[in-house]
Amino acid sequence: MKVPAFHSTVPSDLDVYHDNESCILAARIAVTHRAPGVDGRPWCTACASLD
């Protein structure tokens, strides 16, 4: 399911943005480490495959 775009604030995480709550990579990001928006990052390929 689509959610508003967000990205991780953890430097060691992938430099992509997420927009699907079913994405396994997005699910690994703690809510406290999520920042809203895309921040100029490319779309997560796992999120894109769920679109």
Please tell me the predicted confidence (pLDDT) of residue 18.
98
The tens digit of pLDDT for each residue in 7-51 reads: 999 999 999 999 999 999 999 999 999 999 999 999 999 999 998
Q: The tokens of 26 are what?
A: 């997005």
Structural domain boundaries in the chain: 2-50
Q: Identify the three-state secondary structure at position 9.
A: coil
Q: Are 18 and 2 in contact (CB under 8 A)?
A: no
Amino acid identity at 21: E
Q: Quick one: pLDDT at residue 51?
A: 87
